Amino acid sequence: MKTFHYAFKVKDIASTRQFYIALLNCIEGRSTEDWIDFNFFGNQLSAHVSKDIPALDYCGNVDGIKVPIPHFGCLITVKEFEGIQSKLESIQTKFIIKPTLRYEGKTGEQRTMFFLDPSGNPIELKAFTNEAEVFLR
């Protein structure tokens, strides 16, 4: 098993649970009143309640658009991407980078979107047209 684990800060369990389960289709794992685990597309996310959530640093540059670093996300299927995109648009999510197709017709063609969870954690989701091209240049 080579599952990625990521622990991060959130403002509360209720909004975190709602967002990750209802919008991103995550499955809830173990939880207490101070933390909650999710199956995030086969990876383990651990959200921990904190009163000290750091401000975002938009120091990254993706195709000329400033993006927050650090951020986390996952490579998902095109079908999953489109389903999540639809859910996020239905609640009028403010995207950092709206869902878009990058590198169209080129090696590495992918759909990508950046958005924030209710605690302000930046998330990027990607879907490659050809999954065999994930690490190709």
The partner residues of 10 in beta bridges, in order of sequence, read 49
The C-alpha atoms of residue 108 and residue 52 are separated, in whole angstroms, by 37
CATH topology for 5-133 is 2,3-Dihydroxybiphenyl 1,2-Dioxygenase; domain 1 (3.10.180)
Helices (H) and strands (E) in the chain, counts: 2, 10
What band does 62 get if pLDDT is binned at 50, 70 and 90?
A: confident
What does the pLDDT read at residue 58? Answer: 95
State yes or no: pLDDT of 2 exceeds 90.
no
State yes or no: pLDDT of 121 exceeds 90.
yes
Average pLDDT over residues 30-53: 97
Q: Say what the pTM is.
A: 0.93
Residue-averaged pLDDT of the chain: 95
What are the residue ranges spanned by the domains of the chain? 5-133
What band does 63 get if pLDDT is binned at 50, 70 and 90?
A: confident
Q: Which tokens hold the place of 90?
A: 């239905």
State yes or no: pLDDT of 108 exceeds 80.
yes
What does the pLDDT read at residue 68? Answer: 95
DSSP string, 16-58: HHHIIIIIT-PEEEEE-SSEEEEEETTEEEEEEE-S-PPPP--
State yes or no: pLDDT of 122 exceeds 80.
yes
Average pLDDT over residues 11-23: 97
What band does 137 get if pLDDT is binned at 50, 70 and 90?
A: confident
